[in-house]
Structure 1
Amino acid sequence: MAKSGVKAAVKAVQQKGIKGLAWASFALAVVGGTLAPQMFLGKLIQGFLGLWPWPWIPPVLLAATIVAVGIDIFIDLTPNQAAIWSALTMPTIAASVKGKLGDTVSGWCQALLDQIDGWLHTWITDSSTGLAIACIAASLIMARRVVKKSKAAGVA
């Protein structure tokens, strides 16, 4: 009996740890995604979205990413890969939308990059681009570990 109680306690702690890692990964995805639209990677995605002759594609993709985040988090209260990928791409897609939304998102992201270049670079990195790439990479690596762990633990 004592062994099953210990096993249950260990499994509960693992599940909470997995949930914490998932939320940390999601937070890093939000930071990396917010910095991405004014970087080379975000500009590449915006250029690709601009190649399509239909101006409705970016708004539809933006709505799809918002729905994906909502559904993914609603299902088990844990952001899995769909939510993390959506958080990474949502600001870039929003910046691709023609008109005021795209201009506003681009302006906010550029202002954030300028702020990071202004005062955080002496603490973290010489460039906000390096910080963004580090956040994106850490988010994707953590998401990969979280999904494997949650499947192995029977969480997801």
Structure 2
Amino acid sequence: MRILRSAAVASLALALITPANSQASEKPAVLSQNSATETELAPGESVTFQKGDVVKVEMLPNGPSEKIQVRSADLTTAPNCIVAKAEKGFVQVYNNCGGNEPQRIKVTLAFGPDSVCKSIEPGTRSNVGPALGRIDGVYLC
């Protein structure tokens, strides 16, 4: 009975770690830290990244000649002391950080163009442009 139970537990463990869209012989690719690798995935394939990895994703809908960049992860998220708010149709960015150095930031919008990089002095706010979409994030330039 113990042998049967061990086999069932092993099968269940294998089923839990194997993605539903892959076959038992396939394993997701795991990329090591500090490696620059270009990987092309076929439909149904997956890849696993380590925490803190920077990933650039490109989708190729009709072949290599028509690359569409989905989202570039080259940007560094601004610290929590920099806050962007939509106010009266415009994006206002508040720099609540201490220090004497200004922060150069960029605001990304969903369904609208991203703002240009703008320098904001500590303890001030600045209008970075019209709020044409939802604020997705604030990044350092």
Bin of the TM-score, shorter chain as denominator length: under 0.3
Give the number of the structure whose residues are more often helix, by fraction: 1
| TM-score after normalising by structure 2 | 0.25
Q: Which has the higher contact order (CA 8 A, sep 6+)?
A: 1
- Higher Cα Rg, which structure: 2
